[in-house]
Every structure is written in C-alpha cells, then in structure tokens.
Amino acid sequence: MSREHWDREAATFDDEADHGLADPAVRAAWRALLLGVLPPAPARVVDLGCGTGTLTRLLTDEGYVVDGLDLSPEMVRRARAKVPEARFTVGDAADPPLEPAAYDVVLGRHVLWALPDPAAAFAAWAGLLVPGGVAVLVEGRWATGAGLPAEAAAAIVRGAGREATVQPLPDPALWGRAITDERYLLLSRH
C-alpha cells in the first residue's frame, strides 16, 4: 500500500481501540503482552511501521529506548507529537535506513503483511538485531481477508534462519471487542 494511503489513514488511525490504546484496559492488556516477551528495560527497540507511535509511547513509558520508522510522513508527524523524546525516521521498512546490529528488539505490529516482499523485509529486519536480539511481530489474517496467516509469518521468519513461536491473541481485552479472525504474536528469540 502506498504512502498516500497511509497518510490518509493517519488522522483517524487511533480511533480503533488497539491502535490508539485510549482505553486504559486495552492499553494495560498490550503492556502486559509486550512486557511478557521483551527483554527488561532499558533495551533498544525499533518500532518498524510505527504508525502514530502508540507502541513507541507505551514502551518509552516503560523505560525502553525506542526508535520509530514509518513510510508515512503524516503518521510520523503524529508519532513525533505523541513521543517527543523518541527518534523517528520517515523511511521504507522494506530496507530500513537504520543502524545494523544495533537493536535488542525489532518490533512490528501490523506491518509485515502490508509489505510487497515480507520475506526480504524480515531478513533486513533481522539484520538490525544485536546478537541475541529478539523479533516481535504482531500480525493477523483479518475478517476483511487482508493480512498474513500465522503459518506464513512463521515460514518467513524460519526462512531467515531464525526460530519462531506463535502465540494466538484471541483475548478481547487486546482489541476492545470480541474477535473471530486470526490474530497472533510471533516471537523469535534467536
């Protein structure tokens, strides 16, 4: 999807419960999920396809040092306002213009599915990690028909020479409503 598409999405992006995390209960659910898989703070995190910076905000509040990257200048403008202390870059996550082997965590929520060549992109993401760094992907195959099934995401990660563990995310607390489609967190520790 194009930069223009995501620029248009930016103004209303946070309206979805899991995007804006405006509901404290939904935010608490994401906090618990992410802190349960991340190394302890402070650690360097790169939030790829960071959108309006909601997860960057959450993790910065927990003491992580987070860099965000997004293709959409409108998303990044909002992210900078939301997290003034983080560093954001406008750029393509398919080939991130970021320091290689520098991050303890690569985080991508709802981004890999949108890239034209997710396998090539994930291989580039893995190159951002320090030895022993972890990759955390949150993806889904949504009721709309869009998205990336867990099996496909796991195959991409394993194809890059890393292990993959998939945790289904059916808990309505994460989404602000009950869901019937496939949503998951993929954790790759090595």
Ligand X SMILES: C[S@@+](CC[C@H](N)C(=O)[O-])C[C@H]1O[C@@H](n2cnc3c(N)ncnc32)[C@H](O)[C@@H]1O
Dump the DSSP string for 114-173.
GSS-HHHHHHHHHTTEEEEEEEEEEEEE-TTS-B--HHHHHHHHHHTT---EEEE---HH
Tell me if residue 146 falls in helix, strand or coil: coil
Q: 48 or 160, CB closer to ligand X?
A: 48
**Per-residue tokens: 5:** 């598409």
Nearest 5°: phi and psi at 12?
-110, 5
**Per-residue tokens: 84:** 């003034």
Shortest-Cβ-distance residue relative to ligand X: 51
Give residues in contact with ligand X (CB under 6 A). Answer: 6, 19, 49-51, 54-55, 70-72, 75, 92-94, 109-111, 114-115
- Closest contact distance (angstroms) between CB of 76 and ligand X is 8
Q: 143 or 190, CB closer to ligand X?
A: 143
- Closest contact distance (angstroms) between CB of 43 and ligand X is 18
- Closest contact distance (angstroms) between CB of 131 and ligand X is 25
Q: 3 or 162, CB closer to ligand X?
A: 3
